[in-house]
Each structure stands twice: as C-alpha cells, then as structure tokens.
Amino acid sequence: MWQAISTLLRDWHSENAEIELKTELPGGEIHSAWHLRFGGKDYFVKCDERELLPIFTAEADQLELLSRSKTVRVPQVYAVGSDRDYSFVVMEYLPPRPLDAHNAFLLGQQLAHLHQWSDQPQFGLDFDNDLSTTPQPNAWQRRWSVFFAEQRIGWQLELAAEKGLHFGDIDTLVDVVQQRLANHQPQPSLLHGDLWSGNCALGPDGPISSIRPATGAIASAI
C-alpha cells in the first residue's frame, strides 16, 4: 500500500521523494488512520480493505462538493487508490486543535451559508454514500417528502427489519411520513453530515470540518 501511495504522491513532489515518517493515529474506529510525511510534507491517510475503495472514493467526491460551495473549509484530497490488498485516501494533514468559542461561532456561520447554497437542483446526490458503514441511497427526487420518506425513513426501517427490528408495515409508515410532509417543500441544500465536535478542528486559517478518520457521510442534499 505504501508503495502505491508513494507512486501517487510523486505527482505532487519530485521523483526522488520518499516516505520519511508514518505514524498510526488513534481514533480510527472504522478505518486505520495514519500521519504520513512524504517529501517534507505531512499527509493524513485512511486505509482499509481493498473492497472498501468505493467508500473512500465517495468521501473524496463529497469533500469536493463541500469545497466547491466555498462556504466551509475542508481538507484537500491528494489521492484515492488501492493496491492488491488495501484501499486508501490521502488528504491534507491537520494537527488536532479543538475549536475555541470564536471559531466555533465562525463555523456555525459557514454552515449557515452552506445551507443557503442553492446549486442543488433536486433532493439527492449523483452517488450513494455511507453513514459510518451504513449505505445511504441518494437517488434524485423532485419532492422533499418523497426523498425523506423513502430514502431516509423507509430505508432505515428496511435495514432495521433485516436485523429483526419491526416497527409496523414499512409501506404504511412511509406513506404516513410522505403525507405529513406533502406541503413542506424546502429549497434543496447541500448539508454536512457526521457533524460533531470531533469532526472539526482549528486550522491555520480558521475552523476546518471533516477531519476525523471515522467520517462517513459528509455531504447530503435535503
């Protein structure tokens, strides 16, 4: 894996650049997390089994969406790839520094601007993503009531049923939710998922979000 990462990172460095340091980081409950120094620059690496490459690809795409909004600051993604055994994503390394009150307020303002970003034509995304390790469907829908009832509530009820948890007839419950929300049609907006204090830090230029190794569903359209 490290050889594959080195090959990709040489696009950002000289051909002679090498790995100078790699330290496994705590907190990677879902994926392994590493601090990598390559060619004099620090990187953050998440890795897992090769079959989980689509999760890292979707995460990179979600970070790109958030970055494109020019509202919240997110880490830059340098590479996504795999070798015979592992998949990985290589991102900007951000030393963990908790937000102070001022920068927490700034992050709140940035998130408010994100929620007002109106580049979303409908409710959904061009790709499905994951909430932690749980798949999350995001097929485009014109109406919020349909998207939320079927792809959030109904989907979660189906997953619960697969584990033996039943809350009633799923089609009936989905229909009730859809009817309750029938007259509620908000403006589609890009959201930041998995938002909690451990997923935010103080960067050199202000608050940064989506930094934790356990991050999963980052962008959601509602």
Contact 107, 99 (CB under 8 A): yes
Q: Position 199: which residue type?
A: N
Which of 61, 119, 126, 194 is catalytic? The answer is 194
194 is catalytic: yes
Q: Position 164: which residue type?
A: G
Report H helices in 82-131: 101-115
CA distance 20 to 36: 8
* DSSP β-bridge partners for residue 130: 135
Retrieve residue 203's tokens: 């960067």
Helix (H, G, I), strand (E, B) or coil at 155: helix
CA atoms within 13 A on the CB side of 16: 0
CA distance 115 to 19: 40
Which residues are known catalytic residues?
Answer: 194
